[in-house]
DNA sequence: GTCTATATTTAGATAGAC
DNA sequence: GTCTATCTAAATATAGAC
């Protein structure tokens, strides 16, 4: 493990031994440029990996899209897998963020409303992230499992308690909290992950503001009220 | 297009010119053996593609798992893509089947209950199919779009009408039918496609009968009644 | 239908100059 | 940090004997 982690930061560590001492400003500038390039590559990688998968995407493609040479790309990321894992790592934080918002103090109905909206916005604004995450998890998360399992489990454990408290307080109907969380994840991600299917069936995507609103309202209705007539 | 389709059946067509006329029984036997082998290969392909994706899976792996030589595999399927598409084609039918059951005559509450159960059973019994389907759709269904779009659109169009009729009859709360269909798909598939995540969070999978029942009950509750307390 | 041997292509990765 | 040239391995696919 330490070997892998060592390799991962080689590029940035290489900058620590300049032949002569540059000004702080120059260092910052260089840093900024370097970071910018890394970010550009990561961006291209995300987009390409999400379209073709880890094996379907080639370094050539990614380098082309990031407008760097393949050799240059390997200067920043020492191999394909490191690049891929770097992309995933950034993803995980972003993906988990909305769930962190759940706290006992909130009104559960409002909390769920907010969550659905934020997740739908994520599906609309970050479809590549959503799909890559889905692909990785679906294949057993071989390169993310260790990083996924612990934080995910802890976070969800905590939110499950929050939901259970709401139920005990009579503010939410009695359902197994796990499955509420799964349903929220599943329904909101569906519009990003199955975008082509949604488009084939409904003829619209979340980028259409009317469709976005309609989706939001529908999901709220289904999850909060159900489809059984009252 | 015709070129592609022509190539696709080359293998089976090759069997039509035996040097001397064999008995009908012998033909049947040969057919059965041949079909059996095809099926074995398709099975191995499904399992491998669903784990590693189209590009991540190698013909070597598939041949090994099907217990045939690589060259022999190419006798039955002229190239990798043909094999992949053959797997997908079988999938699509299976995947769409449960939705066909929806008819106006049914009680909608029962119809939805049945659908959720059948789809959950599918997620439990055919996780590889579920995941491969998901992967293909997620990547834009490049090799299935033409075959997917039309039948899917037609089928859903029809079922949307059924749902709308139920709503008009007051048997179902007013929701946009599309989104009900999407929610049913999303929630039930989630347990197959995100199996590792479900396991990381809940510590169980659908193979556990208690968990299966709990999932079924929870999804029914959420979709039929919602989580807002009454 | 099945096998051995091999051709071909692609893509990940490195060496070494600048 | 970036480039040109090159190495290497893997994987798809085919030729041709049996």
Q: What is the pLDDT of residues B221-230, one digit of tens each?
A: 999 999 999 8
Indicate the helix (H) or strand (E) that contains B220.
helix B209-220
Q: CA B196 to CA B219: how far, in whole Å?
A: 19
What's the confidence (pLDDT) of residue B209? 98
In the predicted model, what is the mean pLDDT of chain A? 90
Q: What is the pLDDT of residues A119-138, one digit of tens each?
A: 999 999 999 999 999 999 99
Q: CA A176 to CA B219: how far, in whole Å?
A: 9
Nucleotide nearest to B75 (CA to C1'): C1
Q: Please give the distance of CA B193 from its chain centroid, rounded to a whole number.
A: 12
Confidence of residue A174 (pLDDT cuts 50, 70, 90): very high
Q: What is the pLDDT of residues B179-201, one digit of tens each?
A: 999 999 999 999 999 999 999 99
Do A148 and A141 contact (CB within 8 A), yes or no?
yes
Rounded (to 5) percent helix, strand, coil in chain A = 80, 0, 20
Number of neighbours of residue B121 by Cβ within 10 angstroms: 15
What's the confidence (pLDDT) of residue B24? 73
**CB B19 under 7 Å to nucleic chain D:** no
Q: CA B151 to CA B137: how far, in whole Å?
A: 15
Q: Please name the residue that has the structure tokens 């590889």.
A: B128
Rounded (to 5) percent helix, strand, coil in chain B = 80, 0, 20
Question: Which of A4-8, A26-30, A117-121, B203-207 comes out lowest in average pLDDT?
Answer: A4-8
Tell which wins on pLDDT, B161 or A25: B161
Whether A53 sits inside 8 A of B54 (CB atoms) is yes
Q: What is the pLDDT of residues A153-162, one digit of tens each?
A: 999 999 999 9
What's the confidence (pLDDT) of residue B144? 84
Q: What residue in A sits closest to B149 (Cα-Cα)?
A: A200
Q: Using the predicted structure, report yes or no on whether residue A7 has a pLDDT greater than 80.
A: no
What's the confidence (pLDDT) of residue A97? 92
pTM: 0.89
Q: Which of A152, A173, A201 sits opposite B152 (nearest CB)?
A: A201
What's the confidence (pLDDT) of residue A214? 98
Burial class (CB in 10 A: 0-12, 13-18, 19+), B26: exposed
Q: CA A165 to CA A148: how far, in whole Å?
A: 26
Which residues on A lie below 8 Å from B228 (Cβ)?
109, 172-173, 224-225
Q: Which of B156, B170, B201 sits opposite A153 (nearest CB)?
A: B201
**B183 vs A197, A201, B220, CA distance in Å?**
13, 13, 12
Chain B nearest-CA distance from A59, in A, is 14
Confidence of residue B145 (pLDDT cuts 50, 70, 90): confident
- Of A123, A146, A113, A98, the C-alpha closest to A221 is A113
Do A163 and A181 contact (CB within 8 A), yes or no?
yes
Question: Which of A26-35, A123-132, B16-25, B156-165 comes out lowest in average pLDDT?
Answer: B16-25
Q: CA B106 to CA B163: how far, in whole Å?
A: 11
Helix, strand counts (H, E) of chain B: 12, 0
């Amino acid at each position: 493990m330490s070997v892998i982690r060592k390799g991962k930061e080689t590029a940035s560590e290489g900058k620590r031994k300049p032949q002569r001492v540059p000004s702080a400003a120059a260092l910052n500038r260089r840093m900024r440029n370097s970071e910018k390039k890394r970010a550009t590559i990561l961006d291209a990688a995300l987009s390409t990996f999400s379209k073709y998968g880890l094996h379907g995407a080639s370094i050539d493609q990614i380098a082309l899209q990031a407008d760097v040479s393949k050799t240059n790309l390997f200067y920043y990321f020492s191999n394909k897998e490191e690049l891929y894992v770097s992309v995933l790592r950034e993803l995980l934080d972003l993906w988990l963020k909305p769930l962190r918002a759940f706290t006992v103090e909130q009104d559960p109905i409002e909390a769920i409303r907010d969550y659905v909206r934020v997740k739908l916005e994520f599906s609309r604004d970050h479809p590549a992230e959503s799909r890559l995450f889905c692909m990785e998890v679906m294949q057993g998360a071989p390169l993310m499992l260790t990083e996924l399992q612990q934080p995910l489990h802890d976070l969800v454990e905590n939110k499950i308690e929050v939901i259970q408290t709401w139920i005990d307080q009579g503010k939410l109907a009695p359902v197994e909290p796990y499955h509420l969380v799964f349903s929220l994840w599943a329904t909101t991600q569906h519009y990003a992950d199955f975008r082509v299917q949604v488009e084939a069936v409904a003829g619209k995507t979340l980028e259409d503001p009317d469709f976005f609103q309609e989706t939001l309202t529908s999901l709220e209705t289904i999850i909060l009220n159900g489809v059984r007539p009252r």
